[in-house]
Structure 1
């Protein structure tokens, strides 16, 4: 079992608090992505789990054993870094075997593990090459193979695809997901790329300002953001937000329309809707088109509604141009509401 428990972990660098009090449990064999913008604390948390940094307070448990006082080599983990850390003076075989030799395993076992993981990562024909003879994608495969060869309880990955071009990144996402599922290893993956997070994760932990603001399966994070930040960060384009004014018990007026909504005693709330959940209709928000961007089968329309910018993903057959007016109706069961004082979603 390789369940990971993070209990009240905080990290302070001088006057700067990188992590406040993080609580997170990751189940055995679960693939969890730490997602957030630069500076949110995700890499700091990963380094604390790895043992490369110490928490200012809190505890880290792996497989029912407290490890925050142990050195990295005793935690049963492997780590894949952003820059791969492939040794240029070693062949691919010796790069994959590096950790195994540090453990002083017998040569037959080293060969078995290197061969097996090289086959899994489709680099068995590269074992005699040096890193200078490899492409970026091949070096990335070597780094993952080296981690898998250790047969760790946990694999930690720090933005391992960020140095690859877009097409190779797409290919490696699918490959990584399959390989790690087959390895039955608990995985924590750090990225700022929401597409990677949505496509890879069993669960996404969205981080902001040193806190985890939501930890849930990808579809839940996307459809039901627990905080305004999550709605504004997840999605390309992100959620639209429009101010709401009370119009009676449980009724709110938004850009001239009235909607059933939260209780009336909340002082400030916002109406939120995903761009793909807006559709042309006879009744809805009156929008003035500002920009039209073709996206293949769809167009991204940037418009203004009551002076607020609003984006809609619409069918490309619509003939729209800047200056046109269109009426956009929101899908009723996709509307979300946020309390502006707490920045949290309203049930």
Structure 2
């Protein structure tokens, strides 16, 4: 069992606090993604888990054992870095087996593990090559295979696909998810790419300014963001926001239209809706199209609505052009409400 428990972890660098009281439990064999913009603390948290950084406060437990006082080699983990760190003077076979050799494992066991992990990563035909003869994608596969060959309880990955082109990233995402599921390993994956997070994770921990804002399944994070930051960070394009004024009785005025809102609230709120959850209607919010972007199966229309930019995703067969007046109706069950004072979702 490789359950990971992060308890009250904080990290300061001088007067700067990089992490604030992080609490997170990652289940055995779960694929957890730490998602956030640069500087949010996700890589710092990963380095604390693996032992390359020391927490200022708090504890790290792996498999029921406290490990924050142990060196990285004694934590039962492997790590894949953004930089592949493939040794140029060694063959693919020797690179994958490097950690096993350091543990003085018998040759037969090294050969078995190397061949197994190379097969999982589809590089078994490259075992005799040197890194200079490999593409970037092949080198990344070698780095992942080297980590998996150690048969770790936990594998940590710090933006391992960011150096690859878009098509190769898409291919590697699918392979990584399948390989890690087959290896029965608990995985923590750091990225700023929401597509990687949504497509690979069992759960996503969205980080902002050194805090975990929401930890939930990809669909929960997307459909029910817990805070304005999550709603604005997840999704491309992100959620639209409009001011909502209370009428009383759970009714709110948004851009001149009345909507049912949280009955417990009696102050101004933020009305939020995703662009794909808008439909053309005879009695919708009035918007003026500013930019129309044909994107194959749909149109991305950027409008002006209630003095703000507002985006809607419409069917590509719609005849919309800049300057058109549109009436957009939100799907009622997809509306989210946020308290502007706390930026948190209101039920």
**Shared fold (TM-score, shorter chain, > 0.5):** yes
Distance in 2, matches of 1:264 and 1:254, equals 18
Instruction: After TM superposition, give the deviation of residue 47 of structure 1 in Å.
Output: 0.3
Distance in 2, matches of 1:304 and 1:233, equals 21
Distance in 2, matches of 1:14 and 1:234, equals 32
Judge which range, 144-153 or 242-251, deviates more.
242-251
Distance in 1, matches of 2:306 and 2:184, equals 52
* Mapped pair 1:170 → 2:170: yes
1:20-69 C-alpha deviation (Å, 9 max, x unpaired): 00000000000000000000000000000000000000000000000000
Counterpart in 2 of 1:50? Answer: 50
1:139-172 C-alpha deviation (Å, 9 max, x unpaired): 0100000000000000000001100000000101
Judge which range, 82-91 or 222-231, deviates more.
82-91
Distance in 2, matches of 1:90 and 1:82, equals 20
Equivalent residue of 2:22, what SS? strand
| CA RMSD, 1 decimal | 0.8
Instruction: After TM superposition, give the deviation of residue 249 of structure 1 in Å.
Output: 2.2
Distance in 1, matches of 2:264 and 2:12, equals 40
Counterpart in 2 of 1:236? Answer: 236
Distance in 1, matches of 2:32 and 2:16, equals 26
Distance in 1, matches of 2:297 and 2:265, equals 43
Distance in 2, matches of 1:87 and 1:146, equals 11
Verify the 8 A CA contact 1:80 1:157 in the aligned structure 2. yes
Distance in 2, matches of 1:247 and 1:284, equals 19
Verify the 8 A CA contact 2:156 2:189 in the aligned structure 1. yes
Verify the 8 A CA contact 2:93 2:127 in the aligned structure 1. yes
Equivalent residue of 1:177, what SS? helix
* Mapped pair 1:340 → 2:340: yes
Verify the 8 A CA contact 1:266 1:339 in the aligned structure 2. no
For structure 1, which runs of at least 5 residues remain unmatched after alignment? Answer: none
Distance in 2, matches of 1:248 and 1:70, equals 58
* Mapped pair 1:261 → 2:289: no
* Mapped pair 1:87 → 2:87: yes
Distance in 1, matches of 2:67 and 2:46, equals 13
Distance in 1, matches of 2:308 and 2:161, equals 36
Counterpart in 1 of 2:199? Answer: 199
For structure 2, which runs of at least 5 residues remain unmatched after alignment? Answer: none
Verify the 8 A CA contact 1:251 1:264 in the aligned structure 2. no
Distance in 1, matches of 2:230 and 2:153, equals 30
Equivalent residue of 1:267, what SS? coil
Equivalent residue of 1:247, what SS? strand
Aligned residues: 347
**How high is the TM-score relative to the length of structure 1?**
0.99
Distance in 2, matches of 1:87 and 1:136, equals 13
Instruction: After TM superposition, give the deviation of residue 263 of structure 1 in Å.
Output: 3.4
Instruction: After TM superposition, give the deviation of residue 189 of structure 1 in Å.
Output: 0.2
